[in-house]
Structure 1
């Protein structure tokens, strides 16, 4: 693969195109300043305004959320796995029917594999604009988003209606539901009662890994963060590894599925049969299946990188109860 061809599979942080109308809470006070990014895959946006940077199927989706301080992403759920690592800032993740079942604070480099089957949200509690990077299981990203009933009700009060077709209609723009399309129904009390309400103790430590722990664990060899034999043991349809300067190697390797490299700290030189390129924190690089490649830090100082690859397993549920 030529450098030009590979460049089309690299999304630079500075080139990310945000969408501020991606989801139903785009007008809701407290959530109306968030930005959503679809980096790899179709994503789960409910708006036609969302830009897809790389549409090639990988077996998972890569996205991101950028939020100013004290801006919240509303309570929602997916049918498949949703994992985040914090690229910048300080974030509070919370979950449950009303968002009060449990919570955890994550800082830069920390990663959370959020259990499915429960509503979850997150808030930037830092002092500056922050960014979290997301991995969603499956090529169809779980078939969309399921919102807590109060999120849909609050959105309607501010002009946004979600159709049962999964698309948003903005009454402030004189939009209305098309003929034959009903509003998205609210979950029934019976459906809501079936959803678990795990406490913080239930979720920790099986779904959260801390950056500095990973730095120590990956000092000599890459650490398996999410996977059947990972620190966060799961089979969500993808695996996540963590690599540091000490565990990086110039020996090339390949995968039978596309893989993704996402630096957390430092600049990384990626070499493949046909060329090389350097990626930095916030960049996302897609490596084609069966392409031999390596990644090593190209500068001195702290260096860490998240590596994601599909496994071919069904993008199934993660909550074990």
Structure 2
């Protein structure tokens, strides 16, 4: 994964780098991000857009870092029994569980297959299938997300029943990708039609893979990644990764034993996302400490290293874009 080719290294101060760090405690949620924001069972979820424009349908969504990375970083926070409605994306959607216990399910009606993920587990959900997720833990939970492409595939494709249920609770999605809330006195502007509901013929293009189809190739368990990392960082998602795929980015996994003080660099921006423990990130002109839930954007061509700064178990996810197109990844 590291690109060791030497290019002119940028000079960046600790203050400038801090502007590229989104602290967990500074995350700004949006509770009106999607069409199911009023639908019972989904109306308590919070959406976070950390890097890139994301796929929010609401003008209320705050974007922390707008620098293009070739992918988007986001998060979803939900109390127990809250779910995210069935939807699909045209590009990759990867989640790792930062906290809580989560059930991911998929298919036209959400009953084709499912898997339960614990803290640290990661799932690379195949594109082109309807998927949803819910917090089945006992406390507020958070999942971190990586979406393929700078524009994240142009938005969300909702299962027909989600659009129909939302209309019953005052929310309409325009064909322009924007939400209109009748509870706020809003209506579709003149000339803007509602987002069309997929026809039965169009729905035939959405596969219904079973759990046996999805889990082996698309789910990695936390302690399996820890074992794989060993003395060398593990490639979790990538052409030769634990979950072989080319979604437009690679996801690596680093532990205390596989971390090194030796600096490396990439010719594109990369992202560091601690899962466990505190991490000291160093570059030629400064250093910063990251905690679980923090997200750090490292500039292209900047030599840097990341090592745990305290004793105890430590792990970190590392994301970097590749030259692969951020297109469909499901291979049925």
TM superposition score category, shorter chain reference: over 0.9
**Where in structure 2 are the equivalents of 1:127-138 lying within 5 Å?**
127-138=138-149
In the alignment, structure 1 segments of 5+ residues that lack a partner are: none
> Is the CA contact 1:59–1:312 (under 8 Å) kept in the aligned structure 2?
no
Query: Across the two proteins, how many residue pairs are aligned to each other?
Result: 321
Matched, 1:90 2:90: no
Runs of 4+ aligned structure 1 residues displaced above 3 Å come to none
Q: 1:164 aligns with which of 160, 175, 179?
A: 175
Taking the aligned partners of 1:152 and 1:25, their CA distance within structure 2 comes to 8
> Is the CA contact 1:219–1:245 (under 8 Å) kept in the aligned structure 2?
no
**Where in structure 2 are the equivalents of 1:1-321 lying within 5 Å?**
1-321=12-332
- What's the TM-score once normalised by structure 1's chain length? 1.00
Root-mean-square deviation (CA, aligned residues, Å) is 0.4
> Is the CA contact 1:37–1:51 (under 8 Å) kept in the aligned structure 2?
yes
- What's the TM-score once normalised by structure 2's chain length? 0.96
How far 1:273 moved relative to its partner?
1.5
How far 1:312 moved relative to its partner?
2.2
How far 1:195 moved relative to its partner?
1.3
How far 1:219 moved relative to its partner?
1.7
In the alignment, structure 2 segments of 5+ residues that lack a partner are: 1-11
Q: Please give the secondary structure, in 1, of the residue aligned with 2:16.
A: helix
Q: Please give the secondary structure, in 1, of the residue aligned with 2:56.
A: coil
How far 1:194 moved relative to its partner?
1.9
For residues 66-108 of structure 1, the C-alpha deviation after alignment (integer angstroms, 9 at most, x for no partner) is: 0000000000011100000000000000000000000000000
